[in-house]
A and B are shown apart, each in its own frame.
Chain A
């Protein structure tokens, strides 16, 4: 088996591997500051009275916040016991980067199954959903698509699905 065939086989084995599991609390301070961080000046992120005036049951979160929310609110004592060890994507990216190249965020998708609000607790579980390689304009591009599915921890309702396409370009 040559290097390219070996890499294709490694990529195929990556599909379906778990990427992580975490439980997060959506905290008001981080939500409000994240809104400012993306230049969203809506008062509904800053003041519960403004959210109420807009007919909302609480302070909502900006549409891209789920990409960042486990930076906060991922409290040690709340984490599930069966978190996968190691990083499936990290291993592959590390082996690709050993040959040089750059890592790019190619695409990002969010599916919102229901709105979430400050105070909600969510349980997320991730896996690799696709991994492939192609050549383009003299570059070898390796694509790894990961998916994180978040459920409301109290009701079990599906809340947000996040899909990221990460590219290694050599």
Chain B
């Protein structure tokens, strides 16, 4: 495999309003089964279509924590895999098979705190192709400084 160093995002490279590269993913039932196995969350409405319909749902639907994980992947692909200090979301609506999900991560502020840490605040969302919000929240990361 390739062993080239991953590109590093520096504090000075980021300004308010900047957006992280968008991550797109078409949600499948296989994703739900894989996430169930990867997380141990076997709540039946996420993998058992018969059960989901029996409780009045049109089909199985995605785990909220899958959505948060997918969005987290987009954030940490950009700021670095160990850069986060905080990550919080509200689960706004369910995700459905075949929806095209896309991430939206926007810088809302940057500060240097009293300990000299270079912090970047972001608003983050996961949406479908119609723009319906699935997950909305905020994250904060420490970035390295060039100075």
Contacts and interface: CB of A to CB of B under 8 A. Distances in A.
B69 A37 contact: yes
Nearest to A116: B82
B6 A54 contact: yes
Contacts of A47: 1
A119 interface: no
Contact of B87 (A36, A49, A110): A110
Contacts of A55: 5
Interface stretch (A61-69, A86-94, A137-145): A61-69
Interface stretch (B13-21, B30-38, B109-117): B30-38
Contact of A109 (B3, B73, B86): B86
A38 B2 CA distance: 22
A104 B91 contact: yes
A108 B81 contact: no
Nearest to B75: A63
A149 to B, nearest CB: 14
B145 interface: no
Given A54-B6, A71-B39, A107-B91, A112 B34 contact: no
B89 A42 contact: no
Contacts of A68: 38-41, 65
Contacts of A72: 40
Given A50-B1, A68-B39, A62 B76 contact: yes
A156 interface: no
B68 interface: yes
A141 B34 CA distance: 31
A120 to B, nearest CB: 12
Nearest to B86: A111
Nearest to B8: A55
Contacts, number: 117
A108 B64 contact: yes
A109 B88 contact: yes
Contacts of B65: 64, 67-68, 105, 108
A156 B3 CA distance: 34
Nearest to B82: A115
A78 interface: no
B2 to A, nearest CB: 8
Contact of A42 (B41, B64, B81): B81
Contact of B84 (A49, A54, A63, A102): A63
A80 B25 CA distance: 41
A10 interface: no
Most B Cβ at <10 Å: residue of A50, A55, A63, A68: A63
A46 to B, nearest CB: 8
17 contacts: A35-B73, A37-B35, A50-B3, A62-B72, A62-B76, A63-B76, A64-B65, A64-B68, A64-B72, A64-B87, A67-B39, A67-B65, A68-B38, A104-B91, A108-B64, A110-B84, A112-B85
Interface of A: 30, 33-40, 42-45, 47, 49-50, 53-56, 60, 62-64, 67-68, 71-72, 102, 104-112, 115
